[in-house]
Structure 1
Amino acid sequence: MNTSSAVRLVAARELKVKIKDKTFLISTIFFLLIAVGSTVLPAMLGGGASSVAVADSAAATTLRDAGLEVTQVSDDAAAEQAVRDGDADAAVVAGGKVLAMDDAPSDVVGALSSEPEVQLLNPDAVDPLLAYFVPFGFAIVFFFTSLTFGLQIAQSVVEEKQTRIVEILVASVPTRALLAGKVIAGGVLALGQIALIAVVTIAGLQMTDNGAVLSLIGPSIAWFIPFFVVGFVMLAALWAAIGALVNRLEDLQGVSMPLQLVVMLPFFLVVFLSDNKPMMTLLSYIPFSAPTAMPVRLFTGDAATWEPILSLGVMVVAAAVLIAVGARVYEGSLLRTNGKISFGAAFRDKESRKLAELNS
């Protein structure tokens, strides 16, 4: 069996196993509920426009132009009675007075009010609410997907070592093909989950007439995809190496803590320092934080057109180096089933790597 066939075989096996995994299914449902809740529920809970009873034709036209539900009645007394009977939320009577039962209808008042002319000195400024949620959204997607699927890759490696099935696999499949298959399968599942969430979110925005938001965040989302792919593959190789260092699932938490911190720290830095331009510029060129920091800077307009290309190039170089390190550690520790091994010892273990190369 050549290497490419072995990679496809391992990836297909991992996909079949993980797509039925409860953790994957539960996390997907959880993210979909968040996507639906953040787009559809606010519109549903916000209620519709107020219904208004009015006798004056000019006032009725003004209210209809404002998008309100208008019921034209014979006189002011009938308009007031419609409010008391619950047939209308508000009534507009002589003198421009607005009648309501227990709560002032702000949309009716706004439709009848004369607003002063407003000139925006910075019309292209990013909406403050979006400026908060977009960095949080990019950070939480990269953080949770890389952490969840990374841990699944590490757990898969540990389970294979714990059951000694890894000895059979390595005898049949090249070690690096085994690693590549696991990384590819994890990447496909992660991208599939994100794509599903994106589709639900976009559909929710379109249903609630918030489609204009997509034009604002669309370019940054387009850049987020290649940054996510490179960042995930870079981390996935390290997760597989971490899993190969131990023989029991109980030991994985302690050994993987440094890598968890590497994933977790950029999440908090991007969320809490998103309005700090010098710090965000620095974070957009650090491989572990660039997948979230650079798309955020593109959204806020703080990044030049050449910057994402340079940042992605830096990430590709870093990914190549870290994948090579992860593969070396993976080969140096995969067949050692007699206890934990340190990262440095696995990196230096020539005997295990030679054995892996012979199997390749």
Structure 2
Amino acid sequence: MITNKIHAEDDSTTSPDHQLGAGRAIRLVAGREITTRAATKSFVVTNVVLPVVIVAGIIVLSMFTGDSKPTKVGLVGDDSQLSQTIVAVGDASGEDIEIVPIRDATTARQQAEGGDVKVVLVPGSGNSYEAVTKDDLDGTLEGVLRAAVSQDGLSKTLAEQNVDLSVIAADSTLTVIETEPAKPDEGQRIAVALTGMSLLMFAVLQGGGMVAGGVVEEKTSRVVEILLATIKPLHLLWGKIIGIGAMAFAQVIVLGGAALVAALATGLLDVPSAAGSMFVAVLVWFVLGFLFFATLYAATGAVVSRQEELGSSSAPLTILAMAVVYAAIFGINALDSTIMRTLAWIPPFSASIMPIRIATGDASIFQIVGTVVLMIVACGVATWFAARIYQRNILRTGARVKWSEAFRG
């Protein structure tokens, strides 16, 4: 096969008089990408089936999320009367409680911090108790324990002597101690961040594949030669990325909206203001992450001439995208580790890790701004690299071009 090597950046191949303006050209290409791909059967089916699957999955998750196991409450000492009172008050409040006797306060605190029990009651002076828990204490459970301690104190005091009820109420108290105070709405912010990261990677893998596939398709059918008669290569590239990017963003809105509505309806999410603010952070990283990968996917399509070769040319990029996903998933429980703190500064890993660090409150303003700036720089470098590859190889047919040769042109 004869290789037709034409430098698309050479304006001598097309007359400037016949070139469309940049804005109009990009809009036309973007509109063409949207209308053409939105009409495909696979796109329609995907956007009908996936929301249904997501909603069904969230409904099933909500059915199993409710903790059917009793809440374990540790109690220092062998106080059968208090144990019975706690269980009885819990039953009356709809809280299934299991009492775990513990021999001493030190062991009790260790079990609470280790998560073996949700909370432990450590007796203090008189009828006072300390409720020691690792993080936050559920409002219903705290109410049960306060009521049980108060009732137990009342019954014990009355058994000893006739005492004024106001004195008893003041004497029976419960002090809640959190060894590792939970951050407000942290769970919901993390859920929003993880959802956004998952949707980003879905958009990257699908949208990036569409960009690369579209480039190869135009080369194979020779349509690109006709388009470049009136449109500059970079306008064609940006129109394709913006058009497919808009479709990917619309898909994310549809899928994310379906998940949000289902989560609200099932009670898995109540979208407090803190969780709502996470949407902004997720949106910023979504745009930056998609831009980074989409431009590079376009470059992988420009160096091949057949769809069969696209898998091998884009494989390193796909592996990188999957590494970005798994870094966030497997590193969520070790965000303070050296490797995770380091990866948070390195693009494109910051696109998946930083939203989670923001959600947990582990990211400072300096780190947020710094990582965004670095990601913008990385997007600029990726865009420059992809544009150079695209311009020099979009009209090149034949065998797959090596990256070193493609870059030199």
Please give the range of the TM-score, normalised by the shorter of the 2 chains: 0.7 to 0.9
Task: Give matches, 1:209-358, under 5 Å.
Answer: 209-276=267-334, 277=336, 278-349=338-409
Higher RCO, 1 vs 2 (CA within 8 Å, ≥6 residues apart):
2
Task: Determine the C-alpha separation between the residues in 2 that align with 1:281 and 1:239.
Answer: 28
What's the counterpart of residue 207 of structure 2? 149
Check the 8 A contact 1:245/1:341 in 2, yes or no: yes
Q: Is the Cα contact below 8 Å between 1:153 and 1:240 reproduced in 2?
A: yes
**What is aligned with 1:102?**
none
- Equivalent residue number for residue 253 of structure 2: 195
d(CA) in 2 for partners of 1:142 and 1:284? 16
Counterpart in the other structure of 1:170 = 228
**For residues 65 and 142 of structure 1, do their structure 2 counterparts lie closer, same or farther at Cα, with a shift above 3 Å needed?**
same
> Who is 1:99 aligned against?
none
- Cα deviations across residues 59-89 of structure 1 (Å, max 9, x unaligned)? xxx9998489xxxxxxxxxxxxxxxxxxxxx
| Residue deviations 1:169-213 (CA, integer Å, cap 9, x gap) | 111211110000011012111111111222222222332234435
* AA of the residue aligned to 1:252: L
1:3 positional shift: 1.2
For residues 235 and 42 of structure 1, do their structure 2 counterparts lie closer, same or farther at Cα, with a shift above 3 Å needed? Answer: closer
Letter aligned with residue 5 of structure 1: R
Q: What SS does the corresponding residue of 1:171 show, helix, strand or coil?
A: coil
Report the counterpart of residue 160 of structure 1 in structure 2: 218
**Maintained 8 Å contact 2:90/2:144:** yes
* Structure 2 unaligned spans of 5+: 1-19, 69-88, 96-142, 150-173
Q: How many angstroms does 1:156 deviate by?
A: 0.6
Alignment partners' CA distance in 2, 1:46 and 1:268: 24
Q: Which has the larger radius of gyration?
A: 2
CA contact 1:287–1:315 (8 Å) conserved in 2: yes
Aligned partner of 1:140 in structure 2 is: 198
Alignment size in residue pairs: 296
Distance 1:274 1:210, change over 3 A: closer
CA distance in 1, matches of 2:60, 2:190: 20
TM-score if structure 1 supplies the norm length?
Answer: 0.73
**Whole-Å separation in 2 of the counterparts to 1:154 and 1:66:** 59
> Which residue of 2 is the match for residue 16 of structure 1?
35
TM-score for the superposition, normalised by structure 2: 0.65
Q: One-letter code of the match for 1:248?
A: R
Distance 1:127 1:220, change over 3 A: closer
**Paired letter, 1:305:** I
Alpha-carbon spacing, 1:115–1:123, altered in 2? closer, same or farther (3 Å): farther
Task: Tell me how far 1:46 sits from its aligned partner.
Answer: 7.9
Structure 1 equivalent of residue 157 of structure 2: none
Distance in 1, matches of 2:330 and 2:364, equals 22
Determine if contact 1:245/1:346 at 8 Å carries over to the other structure: yes
209-218 or 274-283, larger mean C-alpha shift: 209-218
SS at match of 1:212: coil
Shift in CA distance, 64/270, structure 1 to aligned 2, threshold 3 Å: closer
Is the 1:241–1:327 contact (alpha carbons within 8 Å) kept by the matching residues of 2? yes
Instruction: For 2:404, give the aligned amino acid.
Output: G
User: Residue in 1 aligned with 2:264?
Assistant: 206
CA 1:280–1:137 in structure 2 vs 1: closer, same or farther (change >3 Å)?
Answer: farther
Determine the structure 2 residue equivalent to 1:76: none
SS in structure 2 at match of 1:247: coil
